[in-house]
């Protein structure tokens, strides 16, 4: 193996040519076959029981995501101009391709179930715009009298009315959203028109995140190049280091395209990962080369380059393998995009390893060594003095170091307990963005923009005609909406029956209850079918009356809110169970919740798995379990601090922030491996642990410091991102680099020295 490698390096031009040729091929494949996956359903684990059930329920009751268009007139909506706009907007929405005609609900299309002196009527609130004051007053009165509409389609102040347009699955696009905004804009003033709803939030997020990444990544790379040049002080070295990263990104995406796997939103993080991890190898190689040249100024390039690969190939392979293993553990995730993310990042890491070991030495052999002007004494350089100071202080104040580390770990563990999971899409937007403000506006005036569908299933046909079951359903609705402010409203079969019962008893509020007998329920329903649109009923109950759909409107889409509502609903489970009714959940909000939980569960699982794997791998590499355990210290601390800071700063764990743990491990382990490997070599040579420590600090410690500086500078650029999750990412990756670096040169260094491993007993 070794021999093959060194023999290969005898033909540097051939190596470069073959690598570039293959890269061009990968690039062509990438250009030809890459496609972005924008269909959010493709991200979901469709075989997961919760998803299977929800999708089925969505079909039973035609549950779709709704876009909400609110029309606000501060002087009140009951005037001919505003009402005409409601009609026009309703019709315009009905004509859009993404929306079915019958899926638009507004004051104009809504059924008004009213009692007349002689009976019941289901009619429109208005067909033509009422013009006279009398007609407008009558309309206002009929809306106020109808609890199915008042507070749902018209706010209690009567200054806002909302139009709900349910859209076909996966039909959201930026173009559609723009058309909606244009449409809304064309009806503005004096009215204000707001557009909100889950499809908008979800769709915009899916577009905004990756787009922002695409804009930011080049700047990140530019900064990394700049800082790389600064620390390596050679354009040639910097370019080679970067070439490794770029080629590995091309290969990873080329392979992805070649395998016919689309680019998911999370895949846009792969370049970020590869940049963060891939530059390390180059930095360490070049740093070694530079030190070697300083010590042996008269050597020729061949000797220097071969010394570099001879000394460094092991740590480069070790670090890359451990990092790749960390990412491969993501393959256990149930979520396909995450699986692929792990797989292709691992491939990219291995590719970067190959390029570091082949392209960098070959490049140096072909194009010559970098000419470092500064041939001054490395021992006098600033970073070296700093590192030496750290090393000295750490050893001198061993107990303080341990104590401070313990305190930091304790604080991090405490913070970790405060970490909360958030599946909210809305929380990913700027608090002052239109999308958040619009949502807040509608939530202030109405039941809520987020939906949770509760599916009740009975054992027998016609169960949902039985008053006791309907009453249990109604009790659940009243309890949840009454006790949780976040649950703004609910809507179900019970609401139809209560309304009809009331109307059939001369609008007497006493009768705003579930009818007393099954027969009366059945006859009301028949009556509704005869006078209203029965299609409306099939959104709340199935035709066998064996399944029912209760929709709760929530004022927030974050996980906490939804979990609270679910907890409250669960309290009604036993009572419903006694009636033979089971409770399940459906809808895209619920699926989002399950999805996030799944992703996080997978990520945390893989985090632990990769920690264990890393300890095993390190133990094998260094032939010592102690080395494995010591090597795992910086990454454990890094991961703990990462989660701890999130908990303390109230940054919720989301799919993006959870990915950070992978970076923490991937990079932390690199630092540790380089450090331990060099320490081991020097310790074997000298047999003096202090000398070994000092030399390692100068060699690996220096490279690690460079590595950390380059990446921190690069990732801090993300703080300028317009998409909050990307900002969190930038800040947390930077922090992880710093803690990994610090953990390696302090506590790990201390443990390594104190533990005396790699120092032969009785060497003298």
Partner 1 sequence: MNHKQRLIIALIMLISAPLRLSGQDDISGLDIMRNVYTRPTGSDQQGRLTMSLTNSRGSRRVRKIEQFIKDTGQEEKKIMFFISPADVRNTSFMNWSYGEAGRDDDQWIYLPALKRIKRISSESKSDYFMGSDFTYDDLGERHPSEDTHTLLREETLDGEDCYIVESIPREDGYMYSRTVSWVIKDKWIGLKKEFYDEEGELLKVLRVLKQEKINGYWIITHTRMHNIQKDHTTEIRLENLIVDAGIPDSRFTERMMKRGL
Q: CB-wise, 496 or 749, nearer to partner 1?
A: 496
Q: CB-wise, 104 or 750, nearer to partner 1?
A: 104
Closest CA to 640 of 428, 421, 405: 405
Please provide residue 546's backbone torsions phi and psi, each rounded to the nearest 5 degrees: -110, -20
CA atoms within 13 A on the CB side of 602: 25
Q: CB-wise, 114 or 440, nearer to partner 1?
A: 114
Q: CB-wise, 186 or 517, nearer to partner 1?
A: 517
CB of 567 vs partner 1, minimal distance in Å: 33
CB of 500 vs partner 1, minimal distance in Å: 10
Q: CB-wise, 430 or 519, nearer to partner 1?
A: 519
CB of 521 vs partner 1, minimal distance in Å: 8
CB of 30 vs partner 1, minimal distance in Å: 43
Count of C-beta atoms within a 10 Å radius of residue 193? 21
Q: CB-wise, 75 or 544, nearer to partner 1?
A: 544
Q: How far is the C-alpha of 355 from the C-alpha of 361, rounded, in Å?
A: 9
Q: How far is the C-alpha of 249 from the C-alpha of 192, rounded, in Å?
A: 47
Q: CB-wise, 107 or 618, nearer to partner 1?
A: 107
Cβ–Cβ under 8 Å, residues 467 and 571? no
Q: CB-wise, 533 or 571, nearer to partner 1?
A: 533
Q: What is the DSSP string of 144-199?
A: HT-TTTBTTTB-TTSSEEEEEEEE-TT---HHHHHHHHHHHHHT-SSSEEEEE-HH
Q: Which two tokens stand for residue 135?
A: 């007609």
First to last CA, the chain: 35
Cα 12 to chain centroid distance, Å, stands at 43
Cβ–Cβ under 8 Å, residues 331 and 340? no
Q: CB-wise, 79 or 531, nearer to partner 1?
A: 531
Query: Bridge partners of 322?
Result: none
CB of 67 vs partner 1, minimal distance in Å: 22
CB of 163 vs partner 1, minimal distance in Å: 18
Q: CB-wise, 42 or 533, nearer to partner 1?
A: 533
CB of 535 vs partner 1, minimal distance in Å: 8
Closest CA to 614 of 376, 325, 193: 325
Q: CB-wise, 31 or 101, nearer to partner 1?
A: 101
CB of 505 vs partner 1, minimal distance in Å: 9
CB of 462 vs partner 1, minimal distance in Å: 7
Q: Which residues contact 130 (CB under 8 A, 6 or more apart)?
A: 80, 83, 136, 138, 139
Q: Which two tokens stand for residue 685?
A: 């040579």
Closest CA to 699 of 677, 715, 716: 677
Q: How far is CA 305 from CA 30, 237, 390, 481, in A?
A: 33, 13, 31, 72
CB of 467 vs partner 1, minimal distance in Å: 11
Q: CB-wise, 111 or 728, nearer to partner 1?
A: 111
CB of 491 vs partner 1, minimal distance in Å: 19
Q: CB-wise, 14 or 526, nearer to partner 1?
A: 526
Q: How far is the C-alpha of 174 from the C-alpha of 702, rounded, in Å?
A: 48
Q: CB-wise, 219 or 522, nearer to partner 1?
A: 522
Placement of tokens 């033509």 in the chain: 128
CB of 643 vs partner 1, minimal distance in Å: 47
Strand pairing of 450-458 and 487-491? unpaired
Q: Which residues of 464-494 are buried (b: 16+ CB within 10 A; e: fewer)?
A: bbbbebbebbbebbeebbeebebbbbbbbbb
Q: CB-wise, 123 or 418, nearer to partner 1?
A: 123
Q: CB-wise, 400 or 543, nearer to partner 1?
A: 543
Q: How far is the C-alpha of 500 from the C-alpha of 661, rounded, in Å?
A: 56
Cα 209 to chain centroid distance, Å, stands at 10
Peptide bond into 45 cis (omega under 30): no
CB of 664 vs partner 1, minimal distance in Å: 50
CB of 116 vs partner 1, minimal distance in Å: 7
Q: Which two tokens stand for residue 217?
A: 């990544």
CB of 267 vs partner 1, minimal distance in Å: 37
Q: How far is the C-alpha of 689 from the C-alpha of 685, rounded, in Å?
A: 10
Q: Which residues contact 143 (CB under 8 A, 6 or more apart)?
A: 107, 125, 149, 150, 153, 154
CB of 61 vs partner 1, minimal distance in Å: 11
Chain residues that interact with partner 1, rule: CB under 8 A: 59-60, 111, 116, 118-124, 462, 465, 504, 515, 517-524, 526-527, 529-535, 538, 542-544
Please provide residue 84's backbone torsions phi and psi, each rounded to the nearest 5 degrees: -65, -40
Q: Which two tokens stand for residue 139?
A: 């309309």
Q: Which two tokens stand for residue 95?
A: 């004509």
Cα 666 to chain centroid distance, Å, stands at 19
Q: What is the dihedral of CA 376, 378, 384, 388, to 10 degrees?
A: -120
Q: What is the DSSP string of 545-583?
A: SSEEEEEEEES--SHHHHHHHHHHHHTTHHHHHHTTEEE
Q: CB-wise, 489 or 523, nearer to partner 1?
A: 523
DSSP letter at 328 equals: H
CB of 647 vs partner 1, minimal distance in Å: 47
């Amino acid at each position: 193996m070794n021999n093959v490698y060194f023999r290969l390096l005898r033909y540097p031009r051939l190596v470069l040519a073959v690598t570039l040729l293959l890269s061009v091929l990968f690039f062509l494949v990438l250009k030809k076959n890459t496609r972005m996956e924008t269909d959010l359903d493709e991200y979901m684990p469709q075989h997961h029981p919760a998803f299977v059930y929800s999708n089925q329920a969505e079909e039973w009751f035609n549950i779709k995501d709704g876009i909400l268009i609110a029309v606000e007139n501060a002087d009140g909506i009951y005037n001919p101009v505003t009402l005409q706009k409601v009609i026009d907007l309703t019709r315009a929405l009905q004509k859009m391709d993404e929306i079915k005609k019958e899926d638009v609900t507004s004051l104009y299309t809504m059924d008004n179930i009213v009692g007349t002196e002689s009976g019941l009527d289901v009619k429109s609130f208005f067909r033509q715009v009422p013009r006279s004051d009398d007609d407008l007053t009558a309309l206002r009165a009929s809306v106020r009298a109808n609890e199915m509409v008042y507070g749902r389609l018209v706010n209690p102040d009567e200054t806002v009315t909302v139009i709900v347009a349910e859209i076909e699955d996966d039909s959201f696009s930026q173009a559609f959203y723009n058309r909606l905004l244009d449409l809304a804009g064309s009806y503005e003033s004096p009215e204000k028109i707001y557009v909100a709803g889950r499809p908008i939030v979800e769709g915009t997020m899916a577009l905004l995140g990756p787009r922002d990444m695409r804009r930011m990544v080049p700047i990140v790379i530019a900064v990394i190049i700049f800082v790389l040049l600064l620390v390596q002080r050679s354009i040639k070295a910097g370019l080679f280091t970067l070439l490794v990263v770029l080629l590995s990104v091309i290969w990873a995406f080329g392979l992805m395209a070649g395998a016919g796997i689309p680019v998911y939103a999370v895949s846009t993080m792969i370049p970020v990962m590869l940049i963060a991890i891939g530059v390390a190898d180059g930095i360490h190689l070049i740093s070694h080369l530079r030190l070697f040249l300083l010590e042996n100024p008269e050597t020729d390039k061949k000797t220097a380059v071969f010394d570099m690969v001879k000394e460094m190939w092991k740590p480069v392979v070790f670090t890359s393998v451990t990092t790749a293993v960390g990412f491969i553990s993501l393959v256990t995730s149930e979520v396909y995009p995450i699986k692929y993310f792990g797989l292709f990042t691992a491939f990219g890491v291995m590719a970067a390893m190959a390029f570091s070991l082949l392209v960098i030495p070959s490049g140096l052999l072909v194009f010559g060594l970098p000419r470092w002007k500064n041939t001054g004494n490395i021992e006098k350089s600033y970073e070296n003095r700093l590192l030496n100071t750290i090393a000295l202080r750490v050893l001198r104040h061993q107990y303080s170091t341990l104590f401070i580390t313990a305190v930091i770990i304790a604080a991090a563990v405490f913070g970790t307990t405060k970490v909360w999971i958030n599946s909210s899409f809305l929380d990913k937007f700027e608090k002052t963005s239109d999308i958040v403000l619009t949502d807040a506006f509608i939530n202030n005036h109405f039941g809520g923009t987020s939906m949770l569908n509760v599916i009740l299933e009975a054992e027998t046909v016609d169960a949902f005609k039985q008053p006791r079951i309907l009453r249990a359903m109604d009790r659940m609705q009243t309890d949840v909406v009454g006790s949780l402010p976040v649950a703004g409203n609910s809507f179900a079969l019970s609401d139809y029956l209560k309304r009809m019962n009331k109307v059939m008893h001369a609008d007497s509020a006493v009768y705003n209850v579930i009818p007393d007998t099954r027969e009366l329920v059945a006859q009301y329903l028949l009556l509704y079918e005869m006078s209203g649109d029965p299609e409306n009923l099939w959104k709340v109950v199935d035709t066998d009356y064996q399944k029912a759909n209760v929709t709760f409107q929530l004022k927030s889409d974050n996980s906490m809110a939804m979990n609270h509502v679910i907890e409250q609903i669960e309290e009604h489970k036993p009572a419903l169970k006694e009636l033979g009714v089971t409770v399940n959940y459906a809808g895209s909000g619920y699926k989002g919740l399950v999805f996030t939980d799944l992703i996080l569960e997978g990520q945390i699982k893989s985090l632990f798995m990769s920690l264990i794997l890393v300890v095993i791998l390190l133990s094998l590499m260094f032939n010592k379990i102690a080395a494995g355990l010591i090597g795992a210290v910086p990454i454990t601390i890094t991961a703990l601090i990462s989660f701890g800071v999130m908990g303390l700063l109230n940054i919720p764990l989301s799919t993006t922030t959870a990915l950070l743990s992978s970076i923490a491990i991937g990079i932390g382990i690199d630092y540790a491996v380089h450090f331990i490997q060099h320490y081991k070599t020097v310790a074997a040579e000298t047999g003096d642990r202090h000398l070994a420590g000092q030399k390692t600090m100068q060699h690996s410690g220096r490279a690690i410091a460079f590595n950390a500086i380059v990446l921190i500078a690069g990732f801090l650029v993300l703080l300028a991102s317009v998409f909050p999750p990307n900002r969190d990412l930038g800040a947390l990756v930077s922090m992880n680099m710093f803690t990994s670096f610090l953990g390696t040169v302090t506590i790990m260094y201390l443990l390594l020295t104190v533990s005396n491993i790699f120092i032969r007993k009785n060497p003298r």
